Amino acid sequence: MRRGRGAGVQATPARHVRAFDQNADMAPAPQTPQGAAAALDVCRRASLREFNTFGLPAAAATLIRIASEADVRRVVDHPQYGRAAKFVLGGGSNIVFTRDVSAVVLKVEVMGRRLVCETPEAWIVEAGAGERWHDLVAWTLEQGWPGLENLALIPGTVGAAPVQNIGAYGLELAERFDALDAVDLVTGRTVTLDGAACRFGYRDSVFKQQGFGGLAGKSLITRVRLRLPRPWQPVLGYLDLERKRADSGIDAPDARTVFDWVCAIRRAKLPDPALLGNAGSFFKNPVVSAEQCRDIIGRDPAIVHYPLADGSCKLAAGWLIDACGWKGKSVGRAAVHERQALVLVNRGGASGAEVVTLARAIQESVYGRFGIRLEPEPVIV
């Protein structure tokens, strides 16, 4: 069993130091005019085990807690950290650490939530990137600003939500997105991006893209603004939610009921990372052409698939993995969950290498049987 998260940086042995004396081996960092260096919260040799929901062992040579945009600029302007490679860390719920991290880890802890404005069409709500996503969902609901309930209980931070355009139960973040603020990790400049600039796709955005105009690893999101449409309308198209409606006999549920249904479905289906380390769905659901889909259905009529508007088809990755007989199988202490083939778990003491070896074996066997390449959803570091 893993220890609960949020217990702070674990000492291995870690040293908390002020940036001006962050490294006794080096000359003290010069003070900037703003006294910037003095304000950075730096931890040396920080364990990352408590900072990833898989509970994988890894350490950061340097971890800096980022509480504001100004902190990001202090890092960028810093004589030592400014030039160093950087890795942005939220809640660690979509990461597989396979080794120690030599890049400077920027742990995002920008807090705050507020209603920006209310119009007849929408509530615009803003939250700091370090806020817990689920807390924001629950808070907006309590305030009487519904619209995020289908995305309840997704672990992680607000700032990471646009990175992979989180989605669940028939709704994606992109459908509730207004804009975000991010700081460029090279220039220190703040930019504001709207939905088009974020280039949202299925579990994808400009923050995951490397090519032309891609921002992967280049910026740190500090604040996210969401647009919650008025009047509120429930999103109930997802099969599990339709079942809840039929079973409960509630034809027109309110937002709180949808929230409760989503939480209940998730708790029944997904292992709690506090008890069994995992990163949620390990693979994306592959999208195939209509022709490929017909071919696969011809061979495996039971395959779970969802037709898309453009004629292509999304296949259930969990079904493909299960069909290859992976449920419950393991490599070392890394295993495929007994009930959810799409979820890889840490049975206790797994290494990132074991998780990756298991994932590769699954990819090969699914490719061998169906000719489909599964793409991992978490970031492998």
Ligand X SMILES: Cc1cc2nc3c(=O)[nH]c(=O)nc-3n(C[C@H](O)[C@H](O)[C@H](O)COP(=O)(O)OP(=O)(O)OC[C@H]3O[C@@H](n4cnc5c(N)ncnc54)[C@H](O)[C@@H]3O)c2cc1C
Among 55, 128, 146, 167, binds ligand X (CB under 6 A): 167
Among 29, 37, 108, 226, binds ligand X (CB under 6 A): 108
Report d(CA 225, CA 116) in Å as an integer.
8
Report d(CA 126, CA 135) in Å as an integer.
13
Sign (positive or negative) of CA dihedral 115, 117, 119, 122: negative
Amino acid in the structure at residue 13: P
92/234 with CB nearer ligand X: 92
Count other Cβ atoms within 10 Å, centred on residue 328: 11
**Least separation, in Å, of the C-beta of 38 and ligand X?**
24
Residue 155 binding ligand X, by CB under 6 A: yes
Among 29, 56, 72, 88, binds ligand X (CB under 6 A): 88
Cβ 45 vs Cβ 12: under 8 Å = yes
Among 42, 127, 148, 168, binds ligand X (CB under 6 A): 168
Part of the chain binding ligand X (CB under 6 A), chosen from 150-158, 288-296, 320-328, 359-367: 150-158
Report d(CA 354, CA 146) in Å as an integer.
41
Among 9, 29, 47, 92, binds ligand X (CB under 6 A): 92
With tokens 């921002």, the residue in question is 215
Catalytic pick among 47, 219, 281, 365:
281
Of residues 259-288, those binding ligand X (CB under 6 A): 270, 273, 278-280
For helices 255-269 and 239-248, angle between their N-to-C axes, nearest 10 degrees: 110
Cβ 206 vs Cβ 215: under 8 Å = yes
Q: How many residues bind ligand X (CB under 6 A)?
A: 32
Site string for ligand X, 30-69 (x = CB under 6 A): -----------------------x----------------
Structure tokens at 56: 């994988």
Residue 72 binding ligand X, by CB under 6 A: no
**Least separation, in Å, of the C-beta of 381 and ligand X?**
8
- Tell me, yes or no, if 377 is annotated catalytic: yes
Among 55, 146, 147, 159, binds ligand X (CB under 6 A): 159
Structure tokens at 367: 């490719």
Rounded alpha-carbon distances, angstroms, from residue 33 to 18, 27, 72, 78, 282:
17, 18, 16, 12, 46
Report d(CA 245, CA 330) in Å as an integer.
37
**Least separation, in Å, of the C-beta of 33 and ligand X?**
27
- Sites of contact with ligand X (CB under 6 A): 53, 88-95, 108, 129, 154-157, 159-161, 163-164, 166-168, 207, 220-221, 270, 273, 278-280, 379
Active site residues: 203, 281, 377
